[in-house]
Structure 1
């Protein structure tokens, strides 16, 4: 089977470091970067088993790669209603469902007013409803002035950097995940680099309307602000970024590359100097995942501000999940979140 279309779809979505692992897991050979890998398989036929594995890897990345999360904690009776509602849904026959997990050719002309159900997974871990639509957004990119050579416009002379804006049209995939166990459902919005916040809000609003259709009312997302302190106070993963307040009035933002901030001597010493009392308002945590000889580090971010932390009732409804490759990565995150909910019900 020819796999160039799957590789092109994967290239649009995944960073090379992640895509390379997906390609290898499918039993294919990854070249040194995208150009060589695309060229290797251009028009080439591969075993059906490898093609299916690559398509499956792409489908998993659609569910877990670079996502913005909102969580809804529902009563058991509503969860039963929602599971029944989702189980009875059928995926309509459209260009989006026909192309899934690949992108729709000329997706903009296929209709982008509203995302539509394009896939559904129902297994022992729950129900995933996958919606797709086309969104346009503007991104800024740094221009490499060296590529202009002697033809560099005179207006750019003397500048060390120039940035340009361009409109990107992307087919995106948003997901409602209703796990089999627990009482939390996940609104999972596509969050590629450069995505405007209002687009994420619109994606979450679409999924919230879906929840209303299933249970008869609009649920409120969980306030995740207290999760920040709970995650920092746990032994989970490696804390590589932390923003926090101290009772002495300081606002701190600390970053690490390898060492966990919980054990980093400078951080520990500073914390001891204020009797161990700090008030985190932002955290990025990573953990190791393995599959055979392959390793990668998914990351979970809860990002608020010092201003919000000073408010009487600080709130945070959005979380970010990045660098995931397998749905298993998201499932392990769900278990960690469930542990936090059990220990910090507020």
Structure 2
């Protein structure tokens, strides 16, 4: 992508804002030598009249990585060497579409621009790294969110409204650009379908989009080799029960007394495994709990940079009848991997998951 601006291309900042949580985007700007201490408006005002070509180049590269790895739901499919080779050949033979999405990649369009774009997937890039090859597709979806409407600012007679309603909720419709990936690794046998999982997306919609891209992957080769994704439910207990494996920040579980619990840690550096109330409750039970949802964060350093990726594996307390998505019998078919700035932290989470997979699935990843 050619920038060609006398001053900094503020579309880069807009893309960071659209793609990343603020804490992650601020960290990215600092790594690029920019100051984000005054928030998005302050950053735009500060850099709208200055030229930062090195920062632009760095952030463009980071946005490419984030398109591959950031804020994703991922499903893993174990395949043999022949299928993997066929998929690699097929993806390497693809060419990006002649489309506005491809011209703008890895930047995203504004919401106004997105209203004019298709909801159908458009191939925007084939990314090749030391870890694998990915077909990158862009598309537009519409998300609905609920927002509280300030009664005093909107209604002509707010007192009358308050007599009848405690609060007024409005539905906000927002066009969002997604980057969805079909990823074929070089070093293992786990083909990945990675789809964006932005804030406000429903699980049902995420699974529908996953199925769409599974079908696209199967259309590239003979025989529809991607069938059932790996069931990740066994990883929930395995990760939770491994002392020292990351920081557990949320846990949902059943107990032998037929109760269902959901616990979250408000202090980000403390682990639920060690929280006094949690430990006391387990000791009082005298029997094992049955986790069905876990969120876990890893903190590590790599080449002087700090990373804090987070993994969520979410089943339900009702088991196989309702959990996991469209694949019959699946408990947890998809992993939600968030707070990744690029490939380093995403691959860190993947490696942790592979280490806890049952032996037959783990062999495919080795």
With the length of structure 2 as denominator, give the TM-score of the two structures: 0.85
1:223 aligned partner: 231
Match of 1:322 in 2: 338
Quote how far apart the aligned CAs of 1:309 are. 6.8
Corresponding position of 2:29:
23
Indicate which of 192, 200, 205 corresponds to 1:199: 205
From 263, 267, 275, the equivalent of 1:254 is 263
Unaligned runs of 5+ in 2: 324-328
Contact conserved, 1:140 with 1:163, CA < 8 A, in 2?
yes
| Distance 1:231-1:26 versus aligned 2 partners, 3 A rule | same
Kindly tell me: are residues 156 and 19 of structure 1, through their superposed partners in 2, closer, same or farther at Cα, counting changes over 3 Å?
farther
State the partner residue of 2:168. Answer: 162
Cα displacement string for residues 211-254 of structure 1 (whole angstroms, at most 9, x for unaligned residues)? 21244214211111111111112232001111112233232222
Deviation at 1:301, TM superposition (A): 0.4
Unaligned stretches of 5+ in structure 1?
A: none
Alignment of 1:1-346 (within 5 A): 1=5, 2-42=8-48, 44-104=49-109, 106-112=113-119, 114-145=120-151, 147=153, 153-158=158-163, 159-215=165-221, 216-217=223-224, 218-234=226-242, 235-257=244-266, 258-275=269-286, 277-290=288-301, 295-308=306-319, 315-341=331-357, 343=359, 345=361
Q: Work out the CA distance in 2 between the residues paired with 1:291 and 1:23.
A: 18
- Three-state SS of the structure 1 residue aligned to 2:280 is helix
Shift of 1:13: 2.2
- In 2, the alpha carbon distance for the partners of 1:99 and 1:109 equals 14
Deviation string for 1:281-317 (max 9, x for gaps)? Answer: 1101011144677544211001111112799966121
Alpha-carbon separation, structure 2, partners of 1:92 and 1:249: 54
CA–CA distance in structure 2, aligned partners of residues 72 and 122 of structure 1: 20
Query: Secondary structure, in 3 states, of the residue corresponding to 2:337?
Result: strand
Shift of 1:344: 7.3
SS where residue 109 of structure 1 aligns?
Answer: coil
2:326 is aligned to none
Distance 2:115 2:321 in 1: 44
